[in-house]
Structure 1
Amino acid sequence: MQRAHHVIVLPIFIATICTSAFLLFSVQPMFAKMVLPTLGGAPAVWAVSLCFFQVMLVAGYGYAHLLERYLAPKLALVFHLALLALALAALPIGLPAISAAAAPDRAYLWLITILCLGVGLPFFVLSANAPLLQAWFGRSGHIESSDAYFLYAASNAGSLTALLAYPLLIEPLLGLTTQSRIWAVGFALLGALIAACGWSTLRELPARATAPRKSSADLPGLGFGNWKDRLTWAGLSFIPSGLLVALTTFVTTDIAAVPLLWVVPLALYLGTFIVAFQRKPPISRRFLLGLQPVAIAITIATMDWDAGLAWAISCLAGIAAFLATSLLCHRQLYEQRPGAERLTEYYLWMSIGGSAGGIFSALIAPQIFTNLLEFPLLLGLGMLCRFGGDTSAVLGKRWPLAASTLAALAVLVAVITTLTRGGMIAWTPQMRVSVLAGLGMAMVVTYRWITPQLVATAALVLGAVLLPDGNKPIHVARTFFGTHRVIEPPGAAFRILLHGTTLHGAQRIADYRLTGTRPLP
């Protein structure tokens, strides 16, 4: 009987984790699509929604950590099932009544409010399941229970299935009302599966299962070493999460804000977790270390170039850079995983870093940057993952040389920018691309030398941020609905209005100088 119980424990946990992840990641595009028409199809709808879901993930992981730390397993199971029942009473999911009103000028706050009221509680409960179920499995007595982290790959497999199924099957075949009702049925089924997982754990080890949680004195403390671990986990999660939002914004700005394009970067992001959280990853670290600087150099050099195929090249290179960086970061996370007693804490700090990255790219960057500068900044930070994020140990006594070299390059860039704006240098977009390509080449060829490569990386990012693009900027504005620019290309007879790299209008310069107003149609 005991042996038969062990046989079914792992399949039950895998089925429960996959079901929870499927529901968690199918509700994200479903609810964002409900909101999309009200906000005019802006790419920021998905960026802000993704940021909200990441913050709710932190709340769910924090809740799971508190349950594991302070409640006995039986009481934790009862409490969690009660919260599931409360969330079930709020279903099916739909837009709250206040969404009928027109969105106010502050679209960010309006969207976050709608997300909280419409999907907040069910998503919060679902987000706690991955770490909670892994912790329960760790006490199940199963032969694999000593290292439950492999179940995180199963969780991400369920998430990936949902993301692929939504644009290809669910959205084309089912209306939003039907989707919401079927999702509610799946949520009820999940409650039964979670009860089965909890029962199997309590049944297997009654002596350990009914014992109270360790006191704070028995658990890892707040020493410097522990905080270094926590900040490392958060930092390694921050970069891929921020890149996910930045890449999605970059791609959808010039095409369309539709679920199919939303889920592709997120599916790739989840795929990196599946690949990285394996005992023997299928992609070698050496290959990723070679791919990363090449992809980053091409992305940064071409992302603002308006040549024929430049945007497509930049997108493909950006996806490759995103994948390589995320795989390196997530593999570092896996290799630095703690023992089972700190499992929920580990996932909590991962989620904190992930939500911070999402907040930076979705909410903070649009307020401080007029262009999509967060993308090259995060790509540059991603190069630190090659060294585990500890640059002080890597540079050692060489940091004065690196700092002085970078300062000299910063002065050179500032001089070029000043002379260009003063009309003393005829700077063109091709010159900008050439300089960035040269810096990118330097970053690639110095891969054997740590200090020169870090300096070249910093110089490349600095150039992307500060070097003028060669077009005379008349007006630049970045809002919830995207980045709009009015520019005057060198030698052109027109001023043009761009949204991203998409042309939306043109005006003869001669007509403007003659009348001083916008010409009538």
Structure 2
Amino acid sequence: MLILFSLTLFMSAFLLFSVQLMVAKMILPLLGGSPAVWNTCQFFFQGALLCGYAYAHLSTRYLGTRRQAIAHSLLLFLPLVSLPIALSKTGLSLENTNPIPWLLGLLISSVALPFFVVSTSAPLIQKWFAETDHPSSKEPYFLYSASNFGSLLGLISYPILIEPYLSLSEQSTLWAVAYIILILFTLGCAICLWKFSPQVKSKNYHFSVSKQPVISDKNPTWQQQAQWTLLSFIPSSLLLGVTTYLTTDLAAIPLLWAIPLILYLLSFILTFARNPRLPHQILMTLVPLFSSTLIILFLAKVMRPVALLVPLHLVGFFAIACVFHGELSRRRPSVAHLTEFYLWISLGGVFGGLFNAIAAPILFPSVLEYPLILLLALLTLNNPREAISPQKDPPLLQTPQGDLDTWFSQLRKDQQSRKAQKLGIQFNLKTTQIISLSLLFGALLVGFTARNISQGWFGNLFAIALLIALYITFSLPRPSLAIGLTLILLLGQFSLGNMSGVLQTERNFFGVNRIVYDRRGPYHSLVHGTTLHGRQSLDPQRSQEPLTYFHPTGPIGQAFEQLNSSDRLQNVAVLGLGIGTLAAYAQPNQTWTFYEIDPIVEKIARDTRYFTFLAQAKAPFSVILGDARLRLEQTPNNTYDLLVMDAFSSDSIPVHLVTQEALKLYLTKLRERGIIAINISNRYINLEPVLGTLAQTLGLATLQQLDRDLSPEEKALGKTPSQWVLLARKPEDFGNLSADARWQPIPNTEKAPLWTDDFSDLVGVLRLFDMQR
């Protein structure tokens, strides 16, 4: 019976996370691959999970476990009407600055029903097991580890075993088959509940598998419920915060978002295990040091070496998640309140997703939610829940044996030992907190600027409200409140970024864009995360000179020189605006159209205080907002002579722009001798074999050039390494470029699976990159 219940929980958790990844893969490319897309999807799934947990709690409360099992057995068949899962993309419109409402609506209509039903399994199956006469039924919380292990395996296996070998339609079909298997497992658990549950079960629950203290069988107080919520909220928010920071500002490595989620699940597995082995008190003592270090590194904009910083942030996150989930495990109630306990945990997870995915981009101009939650985690540890492992009964509970003086002497020694142990723990934690808070205070004072006091008050007020909630809920000492208020105010006014050349920061759904002043040029640059989106010289004589990937001596400069000299270009389309650098190649007899998904980027490119490529363009141009591929479908066929794709999202190209269907669309929009130019300059993904396979499938001619051996003089003039691929219907369409030794066809030996809208494999084209770059 225990195996059946464990397998059911494992299967449900596996399905929960595999469907999240499958649906995210369907949606992510349509919105440019922004980390905010994943955060919004996470928020939706957390909300659906909350609904599932609420159903589990209320249905068992009002129907009773046995009758509820019958009702739930019928509910299991309802999602079959919506399987296999598929997304409806009708009505997609991305002209708005915030596509979150559309994204949430799409998720609700496509996947809400099956996800909701599967999400009910974790609390329900544990509740059913608790009502059986199995010897372990009095403490079913260890089954939560089996559930999280299934989630972990689903997360790890998807990019390694599922995505590289199955198309999205095949994945959806396989998921539907697995759901039917889950129905059978769940029905088996329901039968076990009816067959093996006693008619009258004792309400006197004694925990025999955990050495940690738990709350009694009394109804939880509001403070206990708030503690469960906030102990869940902090790791949930931190999960999305560290993911956004790592994948946007530190290292835009594809699939890096999966590692924090793996660690998050692992912390649940370890802390809710039957016999937890984690050194809880040691981790609690180290958390302040991790928190302060990561906050200082974040504020100081330390970006290198990536090979050290990424593991440091991940280890710090894992330690905090283990401590807070460990506190959750220690504060869990008796099984009479099991479903309620999971309901409050789920609510905390939803609040974390709501804060990071919805509120933070509005409240903070940068990823400030990440250091803020680190600070709140540090302050919350002022009042830890201590637990002394009951290795043996104290002398007062033992029958006195032998001489009473010896017995009293042993009693005093045991009391002193326990007191010393507790004081030692508190002293160590207090010491690391004092050190950490002192370092933070000094670092924040260094970056304090009085002129910034009037900025960011909405974010400050929100952070203060969170601090007050923690202060009341955990009965923190008053000094912690005062210190927290001071540090939050200083954190909101930190302006070291201005001193390092950041002139302006703009944040929206698609990420954080920074305008940076570089004295070496001098230049103005647009940076999105770790990706340079364009650079312009402030020297009037060089202000219209294309720099970075678009330098006149680079591949795209050579292409424009040949095409403009032969008067072949009348209409040019560019997917991805940046700062409008390519407009420097425009000629008076041409018409240019830029497609850009992020309205903030257009705003920055048109701001002549920083960039003037568009303002001084020699040809008329227009900027069309929205997803490039969807907006391009509205363009008449045979319109463009050249289509340039430079649609970066941090450091990766949106997958849906380099599929077979996408290239077929581009070809319909090109004239007979039209050319497609694709910028594949990338640190982590090698798209050359992907485009080679696509070209071979569609019968296209190819040219590619990797321009990376730059002289010191070229680097000093603002040129950066780049790699470009040209596609055309016939080799002669390339003109004189076919005879240029710098351009070579893509070798046929470099093969990759054919990417379509239904199949793509990022893992298969990841580079063995140098983390020090």
TM-score normalised per structure 1:
0.80
Q: Which residue of 1 aligns with 2:514?
A: 485
Q: Which residue of 1 aligns with 2:505?
A: 476
Letter in 2 for 1:320: V
Q: Which residue of 2 aligns with 1:418?
A: 450
| Cα distance in 2, alignment partners of residues 237 and 290 from structure 1 | 19
Q: Which residue of 2 aligns with 1:441?
A: none
Shift of 1:95: 0.1
| Cα distance in 2, alignment partners of residues 85 and 420 from structure 1 | 57
Shift of 1:170: 0.6
| Cα distance in 1, alignment partners of residues 447 and 161 from structure 2 | 55
Choose from 227, 236, 253 the match for 1:232. Answer: 227
Contact 1:300 1:464 in 2 (8 A): no
| Cα distance in 2, alignment partners of residues 490 and 368 from structure 1 | 31
Q: Which runs of 5+ in 1 are unaligned?
A: 1-8, 210-218, 395-401, 422-449
**After the TM superposition, which residues 64-463 of structure 1 pair with which residues of structure 2 at under 5 Å, given as runs?**
64-96=56-88, 98=90, 101-105=92-96, 106-205=98-197, 207-208=199-200, 226-254=221-249, 255-256=251-252, 258=254, 260-305=255-300, 309-388=304-383, 413=445, 416-418=448-450, 462-463=489-490
Q: Which runs of 5+ in 2 are unaligned?
A: 202-216, 386-425, 427-433, 454-476, 544-607, 618-773
Distance 1:33 1:256, change over 3 A: farther
Contact 2:242 2:313 in 1 (8 A): yes
Contact 1:298 1:314 in 2 (8 A): no
Choose from 11, 16, 21 the match for 2:3. Answer: 11
| Cα distance in 2, alignment partners of residues 312 and 420 from structure 1 | 34
| Cα distance in 1, alignment partners of residues 324 and 198 from structure 2 | 39
| Cα distance in 2, alignment partners of residues 123 and 310 from structure 1 | 40
- 2:536 counterpart SS class: strand
Bigger RCO of structures 1 and 2 (CA < 8 A, at least 6 apart): 1
Choose from 28, 31, 43 the match for 1:36. Answer: 28
Distance 1:46 1:124, change over 3 A: same
Q: Which residue of 2 aligns with 1:497?
A: 526
Q: Deviations over 1:114-150 (max 9, x none)?
A: 1111110111111111000000000111000000100
Task: Report the structure number with the largest CA radius of gyration.
Answer: 2
Q: Deviations over 1:37-73 (max 9, x none)?
A: 2112111111100011111111000000011101133
| Cα distance in 2, alignment partners of residues 387 and 274 from structure 1 | 25
Q: Which residue of 1 aligns with 2:492?
A: 465
Distance 1:29 1:364, change over 3 A: same
Distance 1:129 1:491, change over 3 A: same
| Cα distance in 1, alignment partners of residues 34 and 233 from structure 2 | 24
| Cα distance in 2, alignment partners of residues 389 and 46 from structure 1 | 33
Q: Deviations over 1:428-469 (max 9, x none)?
A: xxxxxxxxxxxxxxxxxxxxxx99898777766654432212
Contact 2:447 2:494 in 1 (8 A): no
Shift of 1:208: 4.0
Shift of 1:267: 1.1
Distance 1:360 1:334, change over 3 A: same
The CA RMSD measured in Å over matched residues stands at 3.3
Contact 2:229 2:347 in 1 (8 A): yes
Contact 1:414 1:466 in 2 (8 A): no
Contact 2:66 2:193 in 1 (8 A): no
Distance 1:415 1:478, change over 3 A: closer
Distance 1:194 1:489, change over 3 A: same
| Cα distance in 2, alignment partners of residues 313 and 458 from structure 1 | 31
| Cα distance in 1, alignment partners of residues 63 and 480 from structure 2 | 49
Shift of 1:312: 4.7
Letter in 2 for 1:378: I
- 1:503 counterpart SS class: strand
| Cα distance in 1, alignment partners of residues 41 and 235 from structure 2 | 17
| Cα distance in 2, alignment partners of residues 302 and 369 from structure 1 | 18
Shift of 1:207: 2.2
Letter in 2 for 1:368: L
TM-score normalised per structure 2:
0.55
Q: Deviations over 1:342-387 (max 9, x none)?
A: 0000000010011101110111001111100000000111114434
Distance 1:208 1:199, change over 3 A: farther
Shift of 1:291: 3.1
| Cα distance in 1, alignment partners of residues 59 and 200 from structure 2 | 16
- 1:487 counterpart SS class: strand
Contact 1:252 1:261 in 2 (8 A): yes
Shift of 1:500: 1.8
Shift of 1:103: 3.5
Distance 1:304 1:501, change over 3 A: farther
Choose from 536, 539, 551 the match for 1:510. Answer: 539
Shift of 1:471: 3.1
- 1:510 counterpart SS class: coil
Distance 1:104 1:130, change over 3 A: farther
Q: Which residue of 2 aligns with 1:399?
A: none
| Cα distance in 2, alignment partners of residues 415 and 278 from structure 1 | 44
| Cα distance in 1, alignment partners of residues 480 and 537 from structure 2 | 45
More strand by share: 2
| Cα distance in 2, alignment partners of residues 307 and 492 from structure 1 | 22
Contact 2:379 2:484 in 1 (8 A): no
Contact 1:299 1:314 in 2 (8 A): no
Bigger mean CA deviation after superposition, 293-302 or 342-351:
293-302
